[in-house]
Amino acid sequence: MNTTAILIEQVSSPRAKILFLGYSREQTSLIDDLVSKKCEVWHTDEKIQSTVGYDLVISYGYRHILKKEIIESSKAPIVNLHISYLPWNRGAHPNFWSFYECTPSGVSIHLIDEGVDTGAIIYQRYVNFDKEEDTFSKTYKKLIVEIEKLFRDNIDELISKKFIATPQRRKGSYHSVANLPKEFIGWDTVIKEEVVRLDSILNKK
């Protein structure tokens, strides 16, 4: 087992041993969903050195990039939850870029490979927003709800590793943290108004 991980709850005769990277039990209920499925869940948000001893690794809200040697040596599938419709908007702030660049909004669960959000896709779905979901903050919350729903809808297949992963098609897009425009006012702005405002500023440069 990885020395930085903490056992969430003791489970007798566990169905699977899972390493959950990123969000804690207080930040997401997916950990409790896995425990309710008789999984032994270990959690950490720190950098890991190995996945030895686990049947499945889940990354959700994890802030570290896994080393190549960890990915290549892992006998357990390493799965990531990402709030974009891959291959569009890999990397940081996908919700902002889907609106600013007029690319699809959605959520994806994919395998982790050496790239950033470039691994084969296991599940994904488009996400549409209601009229009242008109700010970046509101649409972000909707995407979080949808990615967790996508996970729950397929939780048994993920635990049993009976899923099929399909390589990503098309070039898509990628953005780093530094790509977010410095002129961006903030996440509570109305999307349509802020996109127009940014266009008027950035297109003059």
Peptide bond into 94 cis (omega under 30): no
Q: Report pLDDT for 205.
A: 58
* 81-97 tens-digit pLDDT: 999 999 999 999 999 99
DSSP lists the bridge partners of residue 180 as none
Write down all domains in the chain, each with its CATH number in brackets. Answer: 6-202 (3.40.50.170)
Q: Report pLDDT for 4.
A: 82
Give me the residues of the chain with pLDDT under 50, please: none
Token pair belonging to 58: 């889940």
DSSP calls for 180-194: S-TT---TTSBHHHH
Q: State the Cα–Cα distance between residues 161 and 74, nearest whole angstrom.
A: 14
Q: Report pLDDT for 181.
A: 97
Q: Report pLDDT for 203.
A: 84
Q: Report pLDDT for 3.
A: 60
Q: Report pLDDT for 2.
A: 61
In the DSSP assignment, the letter for residue 66 is P
Contact (Cβ atoms closer than 8 angstroms) between residue 37 and residue 121: no
Neighbours of 12 (CB within 10 A): 6
User: Considering the entire predicted model, what is its pTM?
Assistant: 0.94
